[in-house]
Amino acid sequence: MVVEQTMKRDPTAAAGGDEPAQPHLFVILECQRPRGGGARYGLEGIAEVVVGRGATRSATREKDGSRIRLVLRFPDPLMSSTHAKLTRTADGGWEVTDLGSTNGTYVSGAKVPRSAIDQSELFELGSTLFVLRPEMPTPADATAVVESHALGGRMHGFGTLVPSYSRQMRALLQMATTEMPILLLGESGTGKEVLATGIHAVSGRKGELVAVNCGGIPESLVEGQLFGHTKGAFSGALRDEPGFVRASDHGTLFLDEIGDLPRTSQAALLRVLQEREVTPVGTTRATKVDLRVVSATHRPVDTLGAEGGFRSDLYARVAGYTHNLLPLRERKEDLGMLIADLLEHLAPGRDVRMTPALGRALYHHDWPLNVRELMHCLKAAVVFAEEGAIDLKHVPEAIRSSGPARRPGPASIEMAASRPLTPDEEQLKARLVEALSGAHGNVSEVARSMGKTRMQIHRWMRRFRLDPETHRE
């Protein structure tokens, strides 16, 4: 047997080509060590993954003839030295098998000796939470092993473990070094201002980043604050003011919520962007400016022009390059990375720990207010927990009630599985057995024939205690 250390490539390298679907294993959270962040392990070509305890987090490939095994180690005190393994099934799916661990293997909160796993199911080894994504669009040059703490541009908001989103982030990072105006689109709380700050930081521009909330300025004062004014230009103008545009000379002007900019001010802003000069209110003398514009909004600006709310010519000026930010619910693979980064600011130097129950609840929550909501949740939790582990009782009720946060005990699992089946369930079980027999145990074929997902078929098999292996030839 040949043992070789997993090769790592620069995650900021440019991606190209198509994005075929590939399987990936994600570390969502190390509850005993949340500052460790998340990780992604590509499983293309991997026949088996063995997970166990080690001194540090590591990934090693082992070749055994034509088979490749990935061995993962985690400094998790609740994980056994050889805890569990993941293997490909004959129908192309994956299953996890406990290898006699002390604390057991849990899938969706239930302790299992062996279980099929699908993309929505969180599974737990020791106090470390994982998710397996069997088919994720993946750039051809994606890195096989990615640790979130090593991601390029992460501290400026460009980091992600999601393969296809990483490609978009790399493109944005490249665009940040140019003079191209950038438009950031995304829901509230997704981190548009963080990205704008990052774009300015890597741009190399010597001036300041000047942030303007276009929706927070009274309409009567917008032009005076944006373009500046002279003393006496209007009531209350007690002195000359440069305005936000001139303050960002040789720097970056960040127009947050540009979709809320009054239409009467849009023409004046358009002229500034076209002519690269600004005329303060109260004077006819224009001043040249050298600025780069980054805009952001949670509103669909490209459709506002048709509705008469936003000038299409101004949209063309600010949307030189458009980047769409994913909401947190669509990038939960980044939860561990975001938690680690937030804890660095919220609890510097503190040895923060979390209970697995909390970790499961954080994963299953939909985060309607996105990363901002996660930040407020952690900020309060580290205060309430004092020096102890952060638990469910330290977070809001909306998060406590998200998903299967608590492990059911062995007795309750047995009770649920052994209760008498209803007539409808007996009929469903018979249909499932017939489908399994006809497909020779191929779960994917069964799912297609019954019009269901593979995940649903696996749930039914667990409920009815059916093993597809008994139907294979």
- Residue 408's pLDDT band (boundaries 50, 70, 90)? very low
Please give the structure tokens belonging to residue 236.
């209350």
The dihedral sign for the CA sequence 413, 414, 420, 426: positive
Task: State the virtual CA torsion across 458, 459, 461, 465 in degrees, nearest 10.
Answer: 130
**Rounded Cα gap, residues 100 and 420, in angstroms:** 30
**Rounded Cα gap, residues 183 and 296, in angstroms:** 6
Looking at per-residue confidence, does 451 or 100 come out higher? Answer: 100
Parallel, antiparallel, or unpaired: how do β-strands 84-88 and 110-111 relate? unpaired
pLDDT above 50 (res 109): yes
Tens of pLDDT, residues 318-351? 999 999 999 999 999 999 999 999 999 999 989 9
Please give the structure tokens belonging to residue 52.
């166990």
The end-to-end CA distance of the chain, in Å, is: 31
pLDDT above 90 (res 373): yes
**Rounded Cα gap, residues 110 and 346, in angstroms:** 33
Can you give the C-alpha Rg of the chain in angstroms?
27
CB 126 within 8 A of CB 76: yes
Q: Which of 365, 363, 333, 366 is nearest to 162 (CA)?
A: 333
Q: What's the confidence (pLDDT) of residue 414?
A: 44
pLDDT above 50 (res 1): no
Q: CA-based angle 249:250:254, to the nearest 5?
A: 70
Flag the least confident range among 200-209, 257-266, 317-326. 257-266
**Rounded Cα gap, residues 56 and 317, in angstroms:** 50
User: Scanning the structure block, which residue is given the tokens 């569990």?
Assistant: 84
Longest dimension (CA), the chain: 90
- Residue 8's pLDDT band (boundaries 50, 70, 90)? very low
pLDDT above 80 (res 308): no
Most confident of 8-22, 235-249, 352-366, 435-449: 352-366
pTM of the full predicted structure?
0.81
Tens of pLDDT, residues 268-296? 889 889 989 887 776 777 789 899 999 99
**Rounded Cα gap, residues 391 and 395, in angstroms:** 7
Q: What's the confidence (pLDDT) of residue 2?
A: 33
Section 370-398 average pLDDT: 95
Q: Which of 336, 323, 275 is nearest to 296 (CA)?
A: 323
pLDDT above 60 (res 359): yes
**Rounded Cα gap, residues 126 and 30, in angstroms:** 9
Length of the chain: 473
- Residue 201's pLDDT band (boundaries 50, 70, 90)? very high
CB 250 within 8 A of CB 291: yes
**Rounded Cα gap, residues 290 and 40, in angstroms:** 41
Inter-CA distances, 262 with 184, 204, 219, 395, Å: 19, 31, 7, 39
- Residue 36's pLDDT band (boundaries 50, 70, 90)? very high
What sections of 39-87 are H helices per DSSP? none
**Rounded Cα gap, residues 149 and 337, in angstroms:** 7
CB 367 within 8 A of CB 331: no
Amino acid at 114: R
Helix (H/G/I), strand (E/B), else coil: 332 = helix
- Identify any residues that bridge with 225 across adjacent strands, giving them in sequence order: none
pLDDT above 70 (res 240): no
Most confident of 18-22, 87-91, 189-193, 261-265: 189-193
Q: How big, in percent rounded to 5, are the helix, strand and coil portions of the chain? A: 40, 25, 40
pLDDT above 60 (res 46): yes
Residue 45, Ramachandran bin (φ over 0: left; ψ between -120 and 50: alpha; else beta):
left
CB 228 within 8 A of CB 211: no
Q: Which of 346, 356, 333 is nearest to 33 (CA)?
A: 356
- Identify any residues that bridge with 117 across adjacent strands, giving them in sequence order: 94
pLDDT above 50 (res 189): yes
Which uninterrupted H or E stretch holds 5? strand 2-5
- Residue 237's pLDDT band (boundaries 50, 70, 90)? low
Tens of pLDDT, residues 142-156? 899 999 999 878 888
Other Cβ atoms less than 10 A from the Cβ of 187: the count is 17
Q: 7: buried, middle or exposed (CB in 10 Å: 19+, 13-18, 0-12)?
A: exposed
pLDDT above 80 (res 112): yes
Q: What's the confidence (pLDDT) of residue 4?
A: 33
Q: What's the confidence (pLDDT) of residue 403?
A: 65
Section 356-362 average pLDDT: 95
